[in-house]
Structure 1
Amino acid sequence: MKKTSFVVTFLVLAWPAIVENFLQSMVGFVDSLFISKLGLIEVAAVGVTNAILQIYFAVFMSVATATAVFISRSIGEQDKEKSKVIVSHALILTSCIGIIFGFLSFFFASDLLSLMGASAAVVDVGSSYFRIISIPSIFIALVFTMGAILRGTGDTKTPLHAGLWMNLIHIVLDYILIFGLFFEGFGLTGAAIATVLSRMIGVGLLLRGMNRKNLLPPLDLRLWSIQTDLFLRIVRIGIPAMLERLFMRSGQILYFGMIIRMGTDIYAAHTLTGNFTLFSTIVGSGLAVATTTLIGQNTGSGKLDHVKRYGNIAISLTSIIMTGVLLIVWLCSFGAAEWFTTNSEVIHLMIAVLLIDLIAQPATGIVTSLTAILQAGGDTKYPMYVTWIGIWAIRTLGVYLFGVYWGWGLIGAWSAIALDNYIRAGILYWRYRSFKWIKPI
C-alpha cells in the first residue's frame, strides 16, 4: 500500500468518530451556554461535578479501551465467535461497574463535592445535579462500551448516527427543561434530567445498531457464561488503562481544588476555558479511535509493517489536526467568550489561557496518539506509569509552584499543564520508537 492509501484509510475510519465527538462537544458547549445564563455559581457547580465525573468516566473508559483492543484483535484474527464472547463479557462487566457507581453517587454526592473544596453555595446547588446525573451511571458506562464495541469492528458510522440523535434530543430537552416552554423551567435540575434522558436514548440506539450488525450474542450459556481466563485478560488490559486515567483525574481533582481556592471567578474562567479546549480534545479522541482500531486489527492479523505505518501517520496527523482546531478556537474566542460572561477579567483570562494551551497542542496531540497506539499494542502499563509521573511529579506540583506559591494564578496552572504534556510526549515517543509495546493479550 502507498502512504496515501494508509492516510485515506485512517481518515475514512476517523471522520465519523471525529464528527460524533464534535457533536458531543457542541452539546457540552451549548449546555454550558445555557447554564451560564443561570449564574456563575451554577457554572462552578457543573464544573466541580464534571471534574468528579471524570473519575467515573476513567473507569468506564478503561473497560471500553480493553474491549476495543480485544474486539479489534479478534477482527484481525477473523474469529467471530470469540468476538461475541468478548462482547458478552464486556457488557456484564460494564453493567456491574455502572450499578456500583450509581450507589456511590446516591450516598456520597455532597461529600464528594465538599472534598473538591467547593463552597457551601456550590455544594448546595450541585448536590442534586450530581445525584441526578450520576445515579443512573449504568447508562453512561454502556454508552462508552457499546460505542467501543462497534468502533473496534471498524464501524464508526453507527455510533455517529446514534450520537447525532442523542445529542440533538439532548439540546432540545436541555432548553425546554432549563428555561421552560409552556411551563416554568427547572433550571440546573432540568439540565441534569435532559442529560440522563438523552443517554438512555443513546443506549437504546446503540443496542439497535449492535443488533443490526449481529454483534449481540444470542442467549446461549456458552457465550454468556463467564470464562475466567478471558475475563481476567480483559481486566488485566483494562486495569492499567483505568489507573492511567485515574492518575490523570485524581491529579486533576487536586489541582482543580487549588484553582477553586483562587476564587469563584477564576475557577469559572478555568471551567469556561475547558469548554473551548474541548473541541481539540474531542477531535483528538476521534483520531485515537481510528488509531486503536487500525493498530489492533493489524496486530491481530500479524501485519507489523502496517502497524508501524499507521502508527507514524497517527502521530503526525493527530498533532497537526489538534493544533489547527485549537488555533481556530482561539481566534474565535475573542468574540465567543462574551457569550458566556460579561466579566471582562474572566474574558481576558480565558483568552490568555487558551493561547498557552495552543502552544501546548503539538505535544498534546502526540500524547493522545501514542497512548492509543501503545494501549492497542497491548502495552497499557507504560502509558500508566508515564501519566502517573507526569501528572503527580510535574503537573500537580507545577500548578502549586507556578499558580499558588509564585502567585501566577491560572496562567501558572495552565503553564504547568503545558510543561507536563511536552515531557510526557518525549517519554512516550522514546517507547514507541523501541517497538517493545507490541505484546500478546
Structure 2
Amino acid sequence: FGTAQIAANGVANSIDMVAIVVVNAVNLAIVTVVGHCVGAGEFEQASRYMKKLMGVSYLATGILNLAVAAALPFLLNFYALSEEARRLSFLLVLLHNLLAFALHPTSFVLANGLRAAGDAKFTMYVGIGSMLVFRLGSAVLFGVMLNLGILGVWIAMGMDWLGRSVAFLLRYRSGKWKNFRAI
C-alpha cells in the first residue's frame, strides 16, 4: 500500500493498544470467573458476571478511547511521520476507537465467556469463519479492489468484529452455551 500507509498502520496499531488494555485484562479474568461459576453449576451467576464484565469493558473502553482521542495530536508528535502518514494514523486511531467501543467487548470478552462455559467449538468456528469471510475477504474487496488501501483493511477489521459480535450475542441470548460441560 505504500510507505505512508504502512507507517500509519504501525503507528495506529501501537497507539490503539492503550484503548483496549482493560478489555484485554477482562478477557483473561472472564475465563476464570465464568469457568468457576459454570463449574459450580451456577449458570445465572455466570450470566450476571458476563454482563458485568462486559459493562466494565464498555465503560473502560469508552473512557480510554476519549483519553486517546484527546491526546492523539500530542501522541503523534512522538513519531517522525509525513503529513499523509500522520493524517492516516489519526484517521485509523479514531476509526479503531469507534469500532473498539462498539464491538470489541462483544467480539472478544463475550467470546471468552462462552469459551469458559465450554462452548469453545462454536467460538472457534465463528472466529475462523468471520476472519476468512469478513476480515480477509473484505480487506481484499475494500483495500485492494475498491482502492481504499489501509482504510479498507481497517474497515474489514470492523466487519469481522461486527460478524463475531452478532454471532456471539445470538449464541449468548439463545442459552445454548449453558448446555456444555468443560470437565
TM-score by length of 2: 0.91
Gap runs ≥5 in structure 1: 1-261
Partner of 2:104: 364
The reply on whether 1:436 has 2:176 as its aligned counterpart is: yes
Report the CA distance between 1:417 and its aligned residue: 1.1
1:212 corresponds to: none
Unaligned runs of 5+ residues in structure 2 are: none
User: Which ranges of 4 or more aligned residues in structure 1 deviate by more than 4 Å?
Assistant: none
Report deviation, 1:412.
Answer: 1.5
- Once residues 83 and 75 of structure 2 are traced to their aligned partners in structure 1, the CA distance between those partners, rounded to angstroms, is 13
Does the alignment pair 1:417 with 2:157?
yes
Report what 1:122 is aligned to.
Answer: none
TM alignment of 1:48-197, pairs within 5 A: none
Partner of residue 24, structure 2: 285
Partner residue of 2:54 out of 315, 340, 343? 315
Q: Distance in 2 between matches of 1:338 and 1:364?
A: 27
For residue 274 of structure 1, report the CA deviation from its aligned partner: 0.3
1:349 equivalent to 2:50? Answer: no
Instruction: Tell me how far 1:313 sits from its aligned partner.
Output: 1.2
User: Is residue 2:130 matched to residue 1:384?
Assistant: no
Residues 323/423 of structure 1: CA separation in 2 closer, same or farther (3 Å cut): farther
1:339 aligned residue: 78
1:321-345 deviations in Å (ceiling 9; x for gaps)? 2233123212211121120114221
Task: After superposition, give the CA deviation of every residue in 1:366-388 in whole Å (9 maximum; x if it has no partner).
Answer: 11211110111011111111111
Counterpart amino acid of residue 45 in structure 2: H
The 8 Å contact of residues 379 and 437 in structure 1, kept in 2 or not, is answered as yes
Deviations 1:365-411 (A, max 9, x none): 21121111011101111111111111110111111111111111111
Q: What is residue 143 of structure 2 aligned with on the other side?
A: 403
Write the letter of the residue equivalent to 2:117.
G
Contact 1:319 1:366 in 2 (8 A): no
Partner of 2:7: 268
1: CA distance between counterparts of 2:47 and 2:105? 18
Q: Whose RCO is larger (CA < 8 A, sep 6+)?
A: 2
Q: Which has the larger radius of gyration?
A: 1
Determine the structure 1 residue equivalent to 2:69: 330
TM-score (norm 1): 0.39
Confirm or deny: 8 A CA contact 2:110 2:168 kept in the other structure. Answer: yes
State the shift of 1:348 in Å: 0.8
The residue type equivalent to 1:266 in the other structure is: Q
Q: Secondary structure at the match of 1:437?
A: helix
Q: 2:30·2:53 contact (CA, 8 Å) conserved in 1?
A: yes
The two structures, once aligned, show a CA RMSD in angstroms of 1.4
Return the letter of the residue paired with 1:264: T
1:92-133 Cα deviation digits (max 9, x unpaired) = xxxxxxxxxxxxxxxxxxxxxxxxxxxxxxxxxxxxxxxxxx
Deviation by residue 1:147-206 (Cα, 9 ceiling, x = unmatched): xxxxxxxxxxxxxxxxxxxxxxxxxxxxxxxxxxxxxxxxxxxxxxxxxxxxxxxxxxxx
Q: Would you say the 8 A contact 1:383–1:428 is kept in 2? A: yes
* 1:303 equivalenced with 2:11 (yes/no): no
Q: Give the letter aligned to residue 36 of structure 2.
A: Q
Percent of residue pairs bearing the same amino acid type: 24
